Structure 1
């Protein structure tokens, strides 16, 4: 039986997410950005404020921002997340062996976000943070995950069919078993990623090693890729879903994640 959705609940969540993105922000600007009725947005804001999710700024006119309550919730959720708990020892081992920044990113609708980070102790290092949004295009995370999706799944995730350059990067990822983004997103930094598969064989996360490109140069890509693949294998609970891939690509996919 179909369950009716709550329009008001959806609006409240949309307002909360928009404030997180644009804070501090006033009611008028928020209604404009959401293309929604100002009175309805204001009711949603007051509902969230009454329950402790938002607080007003001291400036005039009043603008709104998130309270610390959401940080407490996010931290609690992170500690109890099954994948994060299972991954921690694996990330720590990779962090120790590589000496570089290690992170785990997860898909979130049509984007990726950082779930966990272990920063390098070196003076010059990359510094992502939990909750940081990862670019969908050209990032090592995106290439690692999209390489193992069907053409239809890729198009749904990207919002359009991948172009020739993207397809080539995905094919190279399948051949290696890990993805590379060398200055494609952040100048002077290199990220190497491998997918973690759930029981259904669908990528549920990506393990990423990130470092300045001067240290993680082309000569060290295979070394880093091998470490990242090994870490991802330890966390994977199933073989990749390779339906829709070409036969050579399917074989490469199997070889890439088979211990």
Structure 2
């Protein structure tokens, strides 16, 4: 296995598996391959040559060439004429922009997030669940924010984030555990809760108290407290969280100071 292969994102975390795709008669595989090419790029691989595109996507060189060329002609990739390396263009932001502008969920949440941000003067985030990850879809930054490089569209593993545990806590336990079983459980820091039984206990605790916390589980020095936002069926539609620096608050202070605020905000946004 090459270094590039070792860092390849797991396909099971990004939608349907290969077997599920093969069993779906309506699945357009060329669309799947195009998005696999676009998803190959990121902070880890900001630019890729053709053989690397093929390696990361699992395609042969011929397929990688056709899809990379098509996406370049459509304006979603740029090819350096000298190095022959591809990179994403700003046009790829359009889909995300349309989602943010058209999301009723985000529109409904924004006034409450803004109020919580002004009330606490801390960083406030809105996240949604996508299989084994959470995705940041709105963010109000604090002047005390940590340099964690989190922006709208960033992902974090569900099991080591406050919002992730908060959302899992409002799913049926077998469904929550099935998500955890699909995660690549590993410690990102010495404080990460990553063993299955400990995570199950954390989900149950969050269900009982109405909020979840995570302290230095993904980023050192970072504390998070989160509560689930529920849809009309009582299922998690997203989560709101407050992120703070642990140089300013102890874990006990985070819970005592912000738990009632985060629960009230999540309840106000919920549709139950």
TM-score (norm 1): 0.84
Instruction: Tell me if 1:28 matches 2:51.
Output: yes
| Residue 114 of structure 1, aligned match among 130, 136, 155 | 136
Cα offset, 1:131, TM superposition: 0.8
Cα offset, 1:106, TM superposition: 0.7
Indicate the residue corresponding to 1:98 in structure 2: 120
Indicate the residue corresponding to 1:250 in structure 2: none
Cα offset, 1:139, TM superposition: 1.1
- Secondary structure of 2:153's aligned partner: coil
Q: Is the 8 A contact 2:144 2:244 kept in 1?
A: no
Cα offset, 1:155, TM superposition: 3.3
Q: Is the 8 A contact 2:225 2:254 kept in 1?
A: no
Question: How is 1:116-195 mapped onto 2 (pairs within 5 angstroms)?
Answer: 116-122=138-144, 128-160=150-182, 163-195=196-228
CA 1:155–1:42 in structure 2 vs 1: closer, same or farther (change >3 Å)?
farther
- Secondary structure of 1:137's aligned partner: helix
**64-73 or 205-214, larger mean C-alpha shift:** 64-73
Cα deviation, 1:58-80, whole Å, max 9, x if unaligned, reads 542x1111111112332232122
Measure, in 2, the Cα distance between the counterparts of 1:159 and 1:33.
Answer: 24
Indicate the residue corresponding to 2:249 in structure 1: 216
| Residue 231 of structure 1, aligned match among 265, 268, 272 | 265
Cα deviation, 1:194-220, whole Å, max 9, x if unaligned, reads 001112211111101001013232124
Cα offset, 1:36, TM superposition: 1.6
Instruction: Tell me if 1:19 matches 2:19.
Output: no
| Residue 72 of structure 2, aligned match among 49, 56, 60 | 49
Measure, in 1, the Cα distance between the counterparts of 2:181 and 2:80.
Answer: 37
Indicate the RMSD between aligned Cα atoms, in angstroms: 2.0
| Residue 110 of structure 2, aligned match among 68, 76, 88 | 88
CA 1:220–1:12 in structure 2 vs 1: closer, same or farther (change >3 Å)?
closer
Q: Is the 8 A contact 2:51 2:61 kept in 1?
A: yes
Unaligned runs of 5+ in 2: 1-23, 184-194
Measure, in 1, the Cα distance between the counterparts of 2:197 and 2:96.
Answer: 38
Measure, in 2, the Cα distance between the counterparts of 1:44 and 1:159.
Answer: 33
Unaligned runs of 5+ in 1: 239-259
Cα offset, 1:125, TM superposition: 7.1
- Secondary structure of 2:158's aligned partner: coil
Q: Is the 8 A contact 1:101 1:117 kept in 2?
A: yes
Cα offset, 1:120, TM superposition: 0.6
